[in-house]
Amino acid sequence: MSTPTPHNNAKMGDVAETVLLPGDPLRAKFIAETFLEDVVQYNTVRGMFGYTGYYKGKKISVQGSGMGIPSIGIYSYELIHFYGVKNLVRIGSAGAISPDLKLHDVVIGMGACTDSNYADQFDLPGTYAPIASYELMQKAIDTAKEQGTKVTVGNILSNDVFYSDRGLEGGLGKWQKMGVLCVEMEAAGLYMNAARAGVNALAILTISDCPFTGEECSAHDRQVAFTKMMEIALELA
């Protein structure tokens, strides 16, 4: 397989084995400029910025992955199969489903339910349950404890639809009854791509809104204020 790809300017060797994947490319830019040293920007295609630098002496990359499973499906597949990435850590925002979660709380997705048919391509004789890499998850939990950051670990939901015609009770309310913690739009696809390729993936999320109460963070907060999950993820390199 040749590089660059249709979606990535990088050449082989430009991307570290561990990549952080915020959905927002401006969040990737913020992380690179705030936390990394000796930073090189390797991707600008479609405005989906990608950077490689060093955090505490360890090489690490950060790249925007866009919104939804189709988008992260493309970027994660190329990072794994074209660039040799071994550890993919989604760092994103999520809406609270559990009433116990508040704005800015950090959630680690042990498993990712989904209403997507992304798994259909694998032609499995049943229903696939996308889960995180235990190795990355345990390291993230230990890191959070060391940093004094409370995290909630459990099942999350990767939705295909942001504006659902089912409404809260017909949609998220049913997932709430099953103990699902929060909703986002990418983790299940990332977990499936990683599982199929035999590499590691994890989603670390910050609660940006609470659909059942109407509370929400500003767009600026979503871009630059979710530093606790960033600091956990950076230690996974």
Catalytically active residues are 209
Residues 5 and 75: beta-carbon distance below 8 Å: no
d(CA 162, CA 158): 10
Residues 157 and 68: beta-carbon distance below 8 Å: no
Give Cα separations from 30 to 33, 35, 36, 200, 223 (angstroms): 5, 8, 10, 24, 8
DSSP string, 173-226: HHHHHTT--EEESSHHHHHHHHHHHT-EEEEEEEEEEETTTTEE--HHHHHHT-
- Dig out the tokens for 138 from the structure: 């345990």
d(CA 234, CA 219): 22
Residue 214 φ/ψ region, left for φ over 0, alpha for ψ in the -120 to 50 degree band, beta for the rest:
left
Give Cα separations from 4 to 32, 64, 191 (angstroms): 21, 16, 24
d(CA 119, CA 41): 33
